[in-house]
Amino acid sequence: MRLILVEDKDSFRKLLIQALKGSAWNIRATGDPFEAMTWIEGDGAEVLVTDLRLPGLSGLELIRRAKRVQPGLRVVLMSAFGEPKDIVAAMQLGAEDFLPKPFDMGIFFALMDRLQALVGAPPPDPREPWVALSPAMRLLDSSLRAAADSDAPALFIGPRGSGKARAARRLHALRQPRGPFLSMAASELDEGITAATLGLLQGGSLLVLGLEHLSPKAAVELLKAMDIPLGHGFQWMATCGDEPAVPDSVRLRLGVLRFELPSLSHRHEDLVPLFRALLEQAAAGEGRAAPALDRSAEKEVQSRNWPGNVREMAWCAQATLHSASSLLVRGLAVPPMGGRSGREEGGLTLPWPKEATLEAMLREAQHPVEAALLRRALATHAHDPAAAAASLGLTLRAFASRAKERGILMDES
């Protein structure tokens, strides 16, 4: 993980570099804030640790500029002269913490471990759509709020794409909104979960996706990991769609708290508000204004069967955003309920690769082709990853890995 350290006192800068030697951090250090900005504008970093008083540019101004370039950058401000107004300003700019100099190195190490966990397992986006207007969702939301004070293991059960992972993130946000949150597919647990990984997640949550795909070996490894003492504040969570397929030993351990997710067919009051929220989320992710839905588009949202549930609706919202030619949506960009869309049948449109040798351009063109084929398989099979993987002759694990490489989210179970 990349760390930029900005400290104009050579002796203290060297002390911090030496202290982090041999850690997971790839450190670039400087006493010049303008050089640090050059690095941020270039390759960027995961974490910035900066002094307050610097030559030519204050630490606060450095944070402000850095956050403009890289909004997700984690920042720590240090100073021997920090006043309350400086600390408040740093927090308003998005700093994670303030270290008053001189500070105990143990406190520094603990903070860096915490930042490492947050970089590797960031908290869920608090702006993620959560619509609970239907009776079934109001009941679920009430149950999640009641469980917010408990760190007992939680199991989320429901049909594919119903938003089980979204509900797990909701519970995490209600309990510890700034804590680390890591999700792992059950099909990836054959090698187990290391104590080091769990240690970094203290005060956070680990979500195991798709318990029905847990192999016998992975079930044993999961139960071993659950026996590692992690103290108060850590929560195990899991999702499953086919509860009878989950081994009793695992289901009983992870199902202390149980939450059932309804399908969209039982959430009529949520359909249009949820689609609007997903459309706004997709637009915000691309820095665009979200188009409004006209009456016909709203009726289409309400009349559609949504066999892929929330996962399918999120995909359709993204596709609709890309197809909208104005700030008013008059129809949804969705495939017919039985299969492929007419647009897909019309051909595959891809960006031209950068000019290079034929072999290099062919290699570059493979990436958007693969992404398009993965997305089409998901759309054709009602956004069921297992069915899409089988249609392409891939294992679920291989399909999920390739989808992740191509930026296709697979955790909306």
CA angle 271-272-278, nearest 5°?
A: 90
Helix extents (H) in 235-383: 248-254, 271-285, 295-303, 309-323, 342-345, 358-380
Which domains does the chain possess? 2-120 (3.40.50.2300), 135-262 (3.40.50.300), 266-334 (1.10.8.60), 344-413 (1.10.10)
Please give the Cα distance from 77 to 159 (Å, whole number).
45
Q: 83: Cβ–Cβ under 8 A, 6 or more apart, which residues?
A: none
Q: Which backbone phi and psi does 107 adopt, to 5 degrees?
A: -65, -40
Q: So what's the pLDDT on residue 342?
A: 38
In this prediction the pTM is 0.74
Q: What percent of the chain has pLDDT over 90?
A: 46
Confidence category of residue 188, pLDDT binned at 50, 70, 90: confident
Looking from the CA of 281 toward its CB, the CA atoms found within 13 Å total: 19
The whole-number pLDDT of residue 337 equals 45
- Tell me which of 296 and 230 has the higher pLDDT: 296
pLDDT confidence of residue 158: 95
**In the predicted model, is pLDDT for residue 73 greater than 70?**
yes
Q: 333-358 pLDDT, tens per residue?
A: 765 444 444 334 445 666 777 788 88
Average confidence score pLDDT of the chain: 87
The pLDDT tens digits of the residues spanning 80-96 come to: 887 788 888 888 888 88
Spatial separation of the C-alpha atoms in residues 213 and 254, rounded to whole Å: 15
| CB atoms inside a 10 Å sphere around CB 136 | 17
Does residue 410 register a pLDDT over 70? no
Q: How far apart are CA 391 and CA 373, in angstroms?
A: 11
